[in-house]
Each structure stands twice: as C-alpha cells, then as structure tokens.
Chains A and B, each alone.
Chain A
Amino acid sequence: DQQVKQNSPSLSVQEGRISILNCDYTNSMFDYFLWYKKYPAEGPTFLISISSIKDKNEDGRFTVFLNKSAKHLSLHIVPSQPGDSAVYFCAATIAGGTSYGKLTFGQGTILTVHP
C-alpha cells in the first residue's frame, strides 16, 4: 500500500522557468511533510517542510503548498537552475503519537533542468 505517491517519474524544464513537483498521500493521519533532494551517489538532502497547520511555506526559491482536503502537496522551484537537476522525494510523517520519526517516502521524481 503506497501511502505517499509521486505519479510523475520525471520532469524536464528549461532554466529560469518554474518546476512543479507533485505528491499525493492517502493516510489522513499524516501531519508533517518534507521534501528531499538526492544527487547520484549521495544521500537525500532536506529541502523544505510544512506542517499541516499551514498551507504554504517558502524558503528562497523553494515553496511547498499543502492542500489537506485533496491530500496533495506540491513543491515549486522558481527560477529553476541546472544545479537543481536531481531526484526529488516527498515524505510524510505523523508528528505526534507513537509513529514519530518514521518517514514514509514517495517513489521520487527525476527533475532535469536544461540550460
């Protein structure tokens, strides 16, 4: 049962344009969401997170939007740069209760930014 899904295996955008990566989840108990970026031969690197009490969080060129009713979140990168080319993972967790600490990841989306 895939509780976190990234339905687009890959995304290609032009440098300077906006990249939009999408993520859907099925577990309504999830209340904290994170995005990680992974380069080949490296571990995932934390990018940005959002709590379910918010619907938007910004950090520089990265913005995450959360639509709780649709169980959908998205990561916007503006403007996209060639160095952003990587695999992006969406992850979710339950911040309280007994499941804290366990991240559930999506399958990842390969982003390619062309110069």
Chain B
Amino acid sequence: DAGVTQSPTHLIKTRGQQVTLRCSPKSGHDTVSWYQQALGQGPQFIFQYYEEEERQRGNFPDRFSGHQFPNYSSELNVNALLLGDSALYLCASSLNLRNYGYTFGSGTRLTVV
C-alpha cells in the first residue's frame, strides 16, 4: 500500500522564480495538508485541502497557493521565490478532515539560490 508520494524529491530554483510541488495522498485518504520545515525547526502548517477547497491556512503569504484535484492529489505553488523559502516541504494526508492519523510523505527539499 503506497503511502504519501511527493515529487520531486529535490530541486533548486533561483530567486524570483515560481515552483510547483506535487503530492499524492495515501490510498483512501481525502484530506491533504502542506507543511514547511526549515532547517533545525519543526514543520509549520501552510494549508489544508479537502473537497478541492482550502479549509485551513497558516501564517504564510499569498505567494503560497495550492490546489486539490478530484483524485485528491494536491499541488503547492510558490511564486516570487525568496532565499528564505528554502526548506523541506512536507505533504500529509488523512482519512478525513477531523482525523488526526496523518501520514507524511518524505518531502521535497527546495533550495532557492
């Protein structure tokens, strides 16, 4: 049973560019959340998607946006990249909106130069 799949695993972007990260949730899960983990810190909540809508949002600027597709997969988009956006981006899925049994993916390591 495949868990949460994220792509790509690593990428390098230049300041000012835009990036799209992708996530396929665990089979049977319909809720997807995104987290940013800076070096030496715990994951920080970006937003959560359910039924193709953003349901919760953390303290992140509008440069961070997302999407959920009918098959429950999700994308995280970041525009106008800053050096401070360099981090590990984690996707987590759960059975439904109120279920806390999150399964995390291995993450996408984004480096902005």
Listed in ascending order, the chain A residues whose CB lies under 8 Å from chain B are 4, 6, 32, 34, 36, 41-46, 49, 89, 91, 93, 95, 98-108
Contact = CB atoms under 8 A, between A and B. Distances in A.
Nearest to A45: B104
Contact of B43 (A95, A101, A105): A105
B42 A43 contact: no
B31 A101 contact: yes
Interface of B: 4, 31, 33, 35, 40-45, 48, 55-56, 58, 90, 92, 94, 97-98, 100-107
A44 B104 CA distance: 6
B90 A44 contact: yes
Given A100-B97, A102-B48, A102-B56, A46 B102 contact: yes
A44 B41 contact: no
A104 B44 CA distance: 7
A106 B42 contact: yes
Contacts of B33: 101-103
Contacts of A102: 33, 45, 48, 56, 58
A42 B56 contact: no
Contacts of B104: 36, 43-45
